Amino acid sequence: MSQPYVIDELISAKAIAARIEELCREIKKTYSDTEKLVVVGLLRGSFVFIADLVRELDMNVEVDFLETSSYGDSMVSSREVRILKDLRGEIEGHDVLVVEDIVDTGHTLSHVLKLLQSRNPRKLETIALLDKPSRRETDIRATWTGFEIPDEFVVGYGIDYAQRNRNLPFIGCVRFT
């Protein structure tokens, strides 16, 4: 059993919703000439963000998923990225937006972008709900970022700790008691 902890709210559900509206306005401008935007979600942490994002995008979108693993049940990245589930569809010649829950060390996003770039999309951009630049170990940054956060372990809004707390409507910091 894991150590007891409490969760302190860091970013409210209302702040997340407002930021998603702003981000979608920017995304729609960038992809204004596209016939179809392929939104690629990195599972599992981004699923709530993806759902809210695509509902706010007033354009033709297709949703696909990649599942990666670099954390397992740990609070620290292993820096070893494994693809557990690949895309179902083709992205060659299409406009692609990769949706990540959090950019921490940057290893996962860097690995995924290299993989997807090798499949020849027309345009490949990224969006991350959260960014922890203080932890970056790679030279990568999302095209769009919802919120920059301090070096805290966070949960909620799809992000988990050992598969728990994904259902929280806000982003919270884990504090062990």
Mean pLDDT score, 143-160: 96
Q: What is the pLDDT of residue 2?
A: 67
pLDDT band at 22 (very low <50, low <70, confident <90, very high): very high
Beta strands in 35-87 (DSSP E): 37-43, 61-69, 82-85
Q: What fold, for 13-152?
A: Rossmann fold (3.40.50)
Higher pLDDT among residues 79 and 21, named by residue: 21
Task: Give ∠ CA 115-132-109 in degrees, rounded to 5.
Answer: 5
Q: What is the pLDDT of residue 80?
A: 76
Give residue-wise pLDDT tens across range 125-141: 999 999 999 999 999 99
Phi/psi for 54 (5° steps) reads -70, -30
104 is catalytic: yes
Mean pLDDT score, 86-98: 96
171 has pLDDT over 80:
yes
Q: What's the pTM value of the predicted model, to 2 decimals?
A: 0.91
Q: What is the pLDDT of residue 82?
A: 83
Give residue-wise pLDDT tens across range 32-81: 999 999 999 999 899 999 999 999 999 999 999 999 876 555 555 556 78
Mean pLDDT score, 22-33: 96
Which residue in 101, 104, 131, 160 is the catalytic one? Answer: 104
Q: Could you tell me if 10 and 151 are in contact, meaning their C-beta atoms sit under 8 angstroms apart?
A: no
175 contact partners, CB below 8 Å, separation of at least 6: 5, 6, 7, 8
